[in-house]
Chains A and B, each alone.
Chain A
């Protein structure tokens, strides 16, 4: 998609750490669930194929965890681009699969400033843009950026099309 102009804005460097922590938490919980199921398979004598599937899943999610901690955060932050103009909100992300979304401002129905505990630790914010049926997120913004974007979107989104 080289001929398609990239959205101009990048997100904060610190967002790498945010992804890393949330990946660590999420994937570790998943690993523990698999280990728990494996123990239950041994105790309750579930059919042996369940054990095989669980070992397979365990190996897979270990790789997934390593990927989530060491590779994904870096590339995701690096590839994230967004741009808010008078007409469109554009978001582009991804390395393996690149997605580029274009939402006309007039179709935006809500805009929300969001800060979870991990984001708070790094003094970062996310913006959630709600449309008719979908929700889009621009993560890893400083407070000032986030508030500016929210106000800009709120301003442009007030204009409505004749439908």
Chain B
């Protein structure tokens, strides 16, 4: 269908931009701070760095020339390599997730990056195009989705007679809007994420960088002397600092999560986020192995939660956390959104608690970490003996919170587990998506008639294990028999 194509030449500009970003500090140091220096060493470094930089740019050009892709009916072929040639053919139906990402620079040139993720393990599992014309990217994405849709519906058609085969899939935005954060949510978010604290690393960063050129310590000392002279100046300064940091924190949150939208259609979930830098990605609903809801203590107090989809396949871009739906979703909304998004998922909030026996067991279970910490403090820091008591209190508090937070339910083909103290995790998965189970019982647990069980789900990069500790043995038995009936839902390939 198509001849060989190259990426947009913006690839080179983007590459240079990334290069500058990576080497920002050396560039400033060598060519701005030390401009016109007499020092032979610095002069040599300047020249060497220039050679390196030009080399990288030439390499970038060669990379652009050698990178060619061709789109066929159901596959895409990518040839790359300056020194080592590779030729990769990627069938569309193996593609699981598609991400698009636009920086401001991309927007200026009408380009986007496009990442095609496959579910295969290993380093070669995803293909990333750094600069594609928006039009080409959209066309490619539509083509892939159409091919996938066609194949899936032909699969379905074999099973059922009454299936409408629609070959043309409407483009992303036609899905229904599931979630869009309100201003209130974002404000809350900027506090839970402590993003206002970002000012601290910024100040340290500036300080550190300045330190290379001036003797900052002297200036700082004078400055500290000046501000501690009067209470008025100190308090004004602190107020300004607080206002600035809160503003930066809120601004950062709004930039990061401001234009956040989650769409959903029959097969996929689409997420678009970012104000300055736009990120699009989609998740194939069939590939969802489990859903996790994570809450820190602060999020629990503010009734917010992070919803994560556990999906199979290689992690595309851990930096952008592509399996997280939205880190600050109101908890009640989270449950309804999961059910709307994945209509076959049913969450039952009425879960079983742990029994009193479990609490008793947790109260008498020895803590080896505490023992070691205590021995170390008593031996080396005798005068800090209270650390041992504080630590013990902390451990017990943790155990009690975890006990209060532990819930369990088997609901038809679903399993729901929740546990954790400071950081609590709720997970719901289907029997057919649980790839392994384990039951465990220690002597102590046996005494109390309790046991621990574990479920494993496929995920990025390999497997996510979820444990449920100190469940009554009857529940563990029920869990075992529940899993043994797994074949009921599992469809086999022919």
**What residues of chain A have their CB less than 8 Å away from a CB belonging to chain B?**
1-4, 49, 87-88, 96-104, 106-107, 131-134, 159-163
Contact = CB atoms under 8 A, between A and B. Distances in A.
B493 A131 contact: no
B486 A104 contact: yes
A3 B441 CA distance: 13
Contacts of B476: 1, 4
Contacts of A162: 491-493
Contacts of A103: 435-436
Given A104-B436, A106-B490, A159-B493, 19 more contacts: A49-B379, A97-B443, A98-B439, A98-B441, A98-B446, A99-B439, A100-B480, A101-B438, A102-B437, A102-B438, A103-B435, A104-B486, A132-B435, A132-B456, A132-B462, A159-B492, A163-B286, A163-B312, A163-B458
Given A4-B476, A133-B462, A161-B492, A88 B484 contact: yes
B458 A1 contact: no
B117 to A, nearest CB: 15
Nearest to B487: A87
A85 to B, nearest CB: 10
B125 interface: no
Contacts of A131: 435-436
Q: Which of B380, B441, B451 has the most CB of A within 10 A?
A: B441
Interface in B127-143: none
B228 interface: no
Smallest CB-CB A-B distances: 8 pairs: A133-B463, A133-B462, A100-B439, A162-B491, A3-B477, A160-B493, A97-B442, A107-B435
27 contacts: A1-B451, A1-B476, A3-B473, A3-B477, A4-B477, A88-B484, A96-B443, A97-B441, A98-B439, A98-B440, A99-B440, A101-B438, A101-B439, A102-B438, A102-B483, A103-B435, A104-B436, A104-B490, A106-B490, A107-B436, A132-B458, A133-B462, A134-B463, A160-B492, A161-B491, A163-B287, A163-B458
Interface in B464-494: 473-474, 476-477, 480, 483-484, 486-487, 490-493
Contacts of A107: 435-436
A13 B92 CA distance: 53
Contacts of A99: 438-440
Interface of B: 286-287, 312, 379-380, 432, 435-443, 446, 451, 456, 458, 462-463, 473-474, 476-477, 480, 483-484, 486-487, 490-493
B96 to A, nearest CB: 10
B441 A1 contact: yes
B492 A106 contact: yes
B493 A161 contact: yes
Nearest to A56: B375
Given A1-B473, A102-B480, A96 B492 contact: no
Contacts of B487: 87
Contacts of B456: 132-134
B477 A101 contact: no
A94 B293 CA distance: 34
Contact of B436 (A49, A98, A102, A161): A102
B281 to A, nearest CB: 20
Contacts of A133: 456, 462-463
Contacts of A4: 439, 476-477, 480
B6 to A, nearest CB: 35
Nearest to B376: A49
A101 B463 contact: no
Nearest to B439: A100
A107 B474 CA distance: 27
A38 to B, nearest CB: 18
Contacts of B441: 1, 97-98
Nearest to B312: A163
B309 to A, nearest CB: 15
Contacts of B380: 49
A87 B438 contact: no
Contacts of B286: 163
A98 B439 CA distance: 8
A2 B451 CA distance: 12
Nearest to B440: A99
Contacts of B451: 1
Contacts of A160: 492-493
Nearest to A89: B436
A100 B441 CA distance: 9
B486 A1 contact: no
